[in-house]
Amino acid sequence: MSMMDQLTHRGLAALSKQYGGIFHLKMGYLHMVAISSAETARQVLQIQDNIFSNRPATIAISYLTYDRADMAFANYGPFWRQMRKLCVMKLFSRKRAESWESVRDEVDKTVRTVASCTGTAVNVGELVFKLTMDIIYRAAFGASNKEGQDEFISILQEFSKLFGAFNIADFIPWLTWVDPQGLNDRLKKARKALDAFIDKIIDEHIEKREKRRGALDEAETDMVDDLLAFYSDEGNKVNETEDLQNAISLTRDNIKAIIMDVMFGGTETVASAIEWAMAELMKSQDDLKKAQQELADVVGLDRRLEESDFEKLTYLRCTLKETLRLHPPIPLLLHETAEDAAVSGYHVPKGSRVMINAWAIGRDKNSWTDPDSFKPARFLRDGVPDFKGSNFEFIPFGSGRRSCPGMQLGLYALELAVGHLLHCFTWELPDGMKPSELDMNDVFGLTAPRATRLIAIPTKRVVCTI
């Protein structure tokens, strides 16, 4: 148990240097297996994915997801399958134009905010966290619910702390009564706060549906509206049918828990990727120059960047890939075994918690040359691994059944935000700081954001109006 503080992406990567690409830890009663090589990741995410596709859930996670009524922590099975279908086909799909539009609008707003602060130091970390929060909040609850956002952010922050808090009862169940940090009370309070907040929003949405007899204008619908189309007083039901409308009916708990998945899945992940990309480019001035020169050549400084430009922005895309390789926003993928298994000749017992170290795999010297250096040009070469999920050397979005369903939306927000920030402004470090002095440490939690926020001074670069 004294090794608990080593269960981070960095701690486990260090242990893997000593013990190999797969090793076992026993924490209290819990079997844990750490995976840090591309080949073992392939074993569990592709070859034996039928055994390795459950999720582990701590006491806090089970409680805060209404007993795993969501998708991200549901075990693999018919309920998860239909929930996933619902998310992929409805909530995150390209057809859900409102989510994509809210990305464009909110990125525009952010650019205007930066334009109003040119010449002064801007906290890029806070700026992009606000950006992704605004995007997801608006996509989930609609544009008219803005005033509750601060309250909601504090609920999310308490959830996040509780998800990460060490609870001895997760490892030694008969010690549940000990609870020295008062976690059980905090859990109850946090879920009550969420209930009060989202119940009100759900009620307002139900009222709106009733008033319009279900005939909502598509452009006005948000994720709560989309989920309410599957709502039933009769409780949660799952049918194995292809027709989505008949495949699943949702309870209020399901709706609340999915909304929290979207909030956690879509805010800090995207925000940390944008901030890391900007920080790596500030540190590597040559790459910053190349990416900005490409923007000047392809787009020109007399107009704003448009969506159709992206396919020609090869170097910019390489910098984003390189950022995701060095800083995968979710550094440890958490899975659980549904039955006994064997991996690379080792026995993995049923119910083991499997931690796939995407961070260590992206920096493995057997797969990458000079693995710890930021070198976007490596992605210009033929045959270099891609992150779509079939190259296990590079898995920032996971791979296989449990891989990220929000990848397209996340990448879109990442490209748009970094593209606009680089095209519209030049950036300098404050107080004469040299690029080599930038702190590049991270902190470990559900995601691995920068330890210190990136602060930089923007100057307007384009000659058109912003």
Q: Give 66 or 92: the residue with its C-beta nearer to ligand HEM.
A: 92
Neighbouring CB atoms inside 10 A of 455's CB total 17
Q: Give 261 or 393: the residue with its C-beta nearer to ligand HEM.
A: 261
Contact 425, 466 (CB under 8 A): no
Least gap, CB of 83 to ligand HEM (angstroms): 8
Q: Single out the residue of 334, 261, 336 nearest to residue 54, CA to CA.
A: 336
| Pairwise CA distance, residues 381 & 385, whole Å | 10
Least gap, CB of 432 to ligand HEM (angstroms): 32
Please, how many CA atoms are within 13 Å of residue 55, restricted to the half-sphere of its CB? 22
Least gap, CB of 415 to ligand HEM (angstroms): 10
Which value, in Å, is the radius of gyration of the alpha carbons in the chain?
Answer: 22
Task: Select the residue whose beta carbon is closest to ligand HEM and give its number.
Answer: 406
404 assigned binding-site residue: yes
Contact 392, 42 (CB under 8 A): yes
Least gap, CB of 325 to ligand HEM (angstroms): 11
Torsion of the alpha carbons at 190, 195, 196 and 202, rounded to the nearest 10: 150
Q: Give 261 or 280: the residue with its C-beta nearer to ligand HEM.
A: 261
Least gap, CB of 428 to ligand HEM (angstroms): 26
| Pairwise CA distance, residues 263 & 280, whole Å | 26
Q: Give 92 or 141: the residue with its C-beta nearer to ligand HEM.
A: 92
SS3 342: strand
Q: Could you list the residues that contact ligand HEM (CB under 6 A)? A: 71-72, 84, 92, 261-262, 265-266, 269-270, 273, 329-330, 333, 396-398, 402-406, 409-410, 414
Q: Give 262 or 343: the residue with its C-beta nearer to ligand HEM.
A: 262
- φ, ψ (nearest 5 deg) of residue 226: -60, -40
State the DSSP string of 145-198.
Answer: GGGGHHHHHHHHHHHHHHHHS--GGGTSGGGTTT-TT-HHHHHHHHHHHHHHHH
Q: Give 281 or 409: the residue with its C-beta nearer to ligand HEM.
A: 409
Task: Please state, in angstroms and as integers, the Cα–Cα distance from residue 247 to each residue in 81, 143, 228, 257, 399, following that order.
Answer: 10, 30, 14, 19, 25
Least gap, CB of 233 to ligand HEM (angstroms): 26
Q: Give 274 or 299: the residue with its C-beta nearer to ligand HEM.
A: 274
Least gap, CB of 273 to ligand HEM (angstroms): 4
Q: Give 93 or 118: the residue with its C-beta nearer to ligand HEM.
A: 93
Contact 380, 32 (CB under 8 A): no
Least gap, CB of 149 to ligand HEM (angstroms): 17
Q: Single out the residue of 424, 460, 419 nearest to residue 314, CA to CA.
A: 419
SS3 per residue for 412-423: HHHHHHHHHHHH
Binding residues for heme: 404
Binding site per annotation, positions:
404
